[in-house]
Amino acid sequence: MIEFSAQQIADFLKGSIIGDPEVKVNNLSKIENGKPGTLTFLSNPKYTPYIYETNASIVLVNNTFEPERDVKATLIKVEDSYKALSLLLNLVAANMPKPAAGISPLAFVSETAKIGKDVYIGEFAYIGNNVEIADGARIYPQVFLGHNTKIGANTTLYAGVKIYDSCVVGANCILHSGCVLGADGFGFVPEKDGSWSKLPQIGNVYVEDNVEIGANTTIDRSTMGSTHIHKDVKLDNLVHIAHNVEVGDNTAMAAQCGIAGSTKIGKNCILAGQVGIVGHISIADRTVFGAQSGCSRSVKNEGEMLMGYPVRPLMKYKRMTAIEHKLPEIYEEFNALKKEVEELKRN
């Protein structure tokens, strides 16, 4: 990481300094184990005690933060410390070395493929017939691009990404290692003898611009048409999207979510870890699912916060959970009352 002074960082973030403006940092650290020469941040209030102990040289804090006692580090106050950290990390990433453009002699590139300007293709990558790779794309080693796939400008496919025939990935996307796009959807027809006949999956996967897909995430091709991931969607590692699913703009899913076939997820939704959604339903815009929720019905009202299995409105789920913890005591009280009633009847 390049060395920056507190003043340079504050100027870049349009923040204000409390402490030494000339102190310099050349790395990042967590606030609980900060080291001299590093920058850290305070966003979550539960980490506040660490700000008085950290050895980090600079701490980004929200404008609302007021220290209760002396802080050794120089503070840079900004509107949103977490967002400010994101801006800094993007600045650092932009200055990190990237693979030089060019095609490795150990890569296979079909003669019918169309390769744009400043494209990098690493060792043992396979580029099939009629593939189109736009300007500035980065194809790391051992990537497989099936026939007729299209990759947008400045998109990065990390090592081991596999994209089956005829799939489309837009511009400025990031696909992490082990990601698979376009494997067959889970389509089988039951036969009278109990066996299964495979239903051919002849569609594709269509990913719009500015999408990030995590490691070992899989998105199945559609039976017909496209499994459609709209712009600015963010998928964590180990997410599974089944055939003919549609995911709306700006929706984010944490690890191990699973979306069954032909379900439509709205815009700006948030799915926490291990959320499961059944097939052939629709989810309204701005719906939020808590971790391990299971949704078996369509969600029609926008902006709902849901949790549990089956999902319920968040406050109702919290009340039910609070009652559930008291069930042993309630059960004992019920049995005691039952005995009293029986005694009264006998008398």
Residue 42 · residue 61 · CB < 8 Å: yes
pLDDT single digits (tens) 314-335: 888 888 888 888 888 888 889 9
- pLDDT for 1 equals 61
pLDDT single digits (tens) 153-164: 999 999 999 999
- Candidate from 142-151, 169-178, 299-308, 323-332 with smallest mean pLDDT: 323-332
Burial 301-330 (b: 16+ CB within 10 A, else e): eeebebbbeebeebeebeeeeeeeeeeeee
Mean pLDDT, the chain, whole residue set: 95
240 is catalytic: no
**Coil, strand, or helix at residue 331?**
helix
Residue 211 · residue 151 · CB < 8 Å: no
- pLDDT for 23 equals 96
Spatial neighbors of 299 by CB under 8 A, at least 6 apart, are: 281, 282, 283, 284, 287, 306, 311
Which of the pair, 320 or 225, is modelled with greater confidence?
Answer: 225
CA distance 286 to 74: 38
pTM equals: 0.86
Q: Which helix (H) or strand (E) holds 213?
A: strand 212-213
Q: Could you please report the per-residue DSSP string of 252-287?
A: EE-TT-EE-TT-EE-TT-EE-TT-EE-SS-EE-TT-
- pLDDT for 299 equals 96
Q: How many residues does the chain have?
A: 347
Determine which one of 147, 240, 243, 280 is catalytic.
243
Task: Name the one residue in this structure whose structure tokens are 């009264």.
Answer: 344
Task: Name the one residue in this structure whose structure tokens are 């199945």.
Answer: 220
The CATH code of domain 4-94 reads: 3.40.1390.10
**What confidence tier does 94 reach under pLDDT thresholds 50, 70, 90?**
confident
Spatial neighbors of 275 by CB under 8 A, at least 6 apart, are: 253, 254, 257, 258, 289, 290, 291, 292, 293, 294, 295
**Coil, strand, or helix at residue 190?**
strand
The CATH code of domain 102-316 reads: 2.160.10.10
Burial-class residue 241 by CB neighbours within 10 Å (0-12, 13-18, 19+). Answer: buried
Q: At what angle do helices 6-13 and 81-94 cross, to 10 degrees?
A: 110
